[in-house]
Amino acid sequence: MADAVPTARARDAFAFRGAHQAGIVTPAQDRLHFAAFDVITGSRAQLIALLEAWTAAADRMTRGLPAGEVGPTEGASSLPPDDTGEAIGLPVSGLTITFGFGPSLFRDDRGRDRFGLADRQPTALRTLPHFPGDLLDPERSYGDLCVQACADDPQVAVHAIRNLARIGFGTVAVRWSQLGFGRTSTTSTSQSTPRNLFGFKDGTANVKAEETDAVAEHVWVGEDDDPQAGWLAGGSYLVTRRINMTIEVWDRQPLGDQEAFIGRTKDSGAPLSGGDELSEPDFTMPGSDGPVIPRDSHVRVVHPDFNHGARMLRRGYNFVDGTDALGGLNAGLFFIAFVRDPDTHFIPIQNRMARSDAMMEYLKVTGSALFAAPPGAAAGEYVGQALFS
């Protein structure tokens, strides 16, 4: 199954086909290339043909094969190759390719049902609300389709997106894309906790693949979750947020203040109430001026105890996209989360963060999107086939 936790020997390859899409509970790889697409055809048949072609290409590339059956060098010299060739000689590098459908695939911004899918749109799949503090760039937000390519080699991830975009020429156009490095979350107990660009360990309390009951409760959509979206059972909702960090301002804050904003020590990642990184925070422990873990610390604001038990599976990445107009680093966190229901597992938590998280003073959200990631494709199926059946 695609969601199985691999042994070290199997690290190089993850099965594309299975009950769930790979790239969700798969141990997070080191590199990301994420792309959102607009569908530029009005033909349902062409959209299905694209998904069939994308499924076949993704299945091949995740096995270390070229995107097409001919390959980058063996075809006729008078025709373009069916693979671009930059991955020649590279190992598969743990490549996973994960697909998602945006709300505009079901109804566009004028309410039109372009592909006869409107009556199958999940209730929770809609444009995310504009949260306080959002400064969204429409050219970095939304999209009809998305593809998440993760790998341990950046060229392998880029090769995957490049070839899917090539295959989709004339049917889809890239709306926006994001490169990421240095995973900012841990999706398996076999992985150590990474650090974000603020220098703090990130994702300590993330849902792990080995927590099978938690994954079933918080990540996978259930068969009875939405009567009009039975096709999504076994899938998940994919949230993306492009979060710019004001790196230069953060770097001038005292260490004690930084730790108070986060609620953890910068060294070990232990909660300020003591213990080690994996110790449960004690939010009642008194300090010299209120609780030792401040009420507006990030750890407290997002903790399940204060969010009706909701947890999410995060797969975010750091990014640095050069410098901005003021000469500062255009850098931050490309946040990715998979949740069973954004109405219970993401939107309320994001609202709490926007209202009361001390860390928000150093963040600026510039991109946002929500997609439905369908269940995995079995042999002979294409991704999302149940939606079109």
Residue 380 lies in a domain: no
Domain range for 272:
12-115+129-375
Instruction: Indicate the DSSP class of residue 376.
Output: P
Residue 164 lies in a domain: yes
Buried b vs exposed e over 326-337: b needs ≥16 C-beta within 10 Å?
Answer: eeebbbbbbbbb
For the segment 39-64, the average pLDDT, to the nearest whole number, is 98
Domains contained in the chain, number: 1
For the segment 80-86, the average pLDDT, to the nearest whole number, is 97
d(CA 389, CA 386) in angstroms, rounded, equals: 5
d(CA 228, CA 221) in angstroms, rounded, equals: 13
What confidence tens digit (pLDDT) does each residue in 248-305 have? Answer: 999 999 999 999 999 999 999 999 999 999 999 999 999 988 999 999 999 999 999 9
Whole-angstrom CA distances from 351 to 258, 357, 376 are: 22, 10, 31
Segment holding 262, helix H or strand E? helix 255-262
Sign of CA dihedral 292, 294, 298, 299: positive
Residue 2 lies in a domain: no
Buried b vs exposed e over 69-107: b needs ≥16 C-beta within 10 Å?
Answer: eebbeeeeeeeebbbbeebeeeebbbbbbbbbbbbbbbb
Q: In this model, does residue 30 exceed pLDDT 60?
A: yes
Segment holding 286, helix H or strand E? strand 286-287
Residue 4 lies in a domain: no
Residue 381 lies in a domain: no
What confidence tens digit (pLDDT) does each residue in 129-152 have? Answer: 999 989 999 999 999 999 999 999
Buried b vs exposed e over 184-193: b needs ≥16 C-beta within 10 Å?
Answer: bbbbeeebeb
Q: Which pLDDT band, with edges at 50, 70 and 90, does 2 fall under?
A: very low
For the segment 3-12, the average pLDDT, to the nearest whole number, is 47
Whole-angstrom CA distances from 159 to 149, 321, 322, 325, 377 are: 9, 19, 22, 30, 22
Q: In this model, does residue 5 exceed pLDDT 70?
A: no
Residue 228 lies in a domain: yes
| Closest to 335 (Cα-Cα) out of 302, 306, 296, 366 | 366
Residue 167 lies in a domain: yes
What confidence tens digit (pLDDT) does each residue in 215-240 have? Answer: 999 999 999 999 999 999 999 999 99
Q: What percent of the chain has pLDDT over 70?
A: 97
User: What does pLDDT average to over the chain?
Assistant: 95
> In this structure, are residues 306 and 300 in contact, taking their beta carbons and an 8 Å threshold?
yes
CA 63 to chain centre: 22
Whole-number pLDDT of residue 43 = 98
Q: Which pLDDT band, with edges at 50, 70 and 90, does 11 fall under?
A: low
What confidence tens digit (pLDDT) does each residue in 324-348 have? Answer: 888 899 999 999 999 999 999 999 9
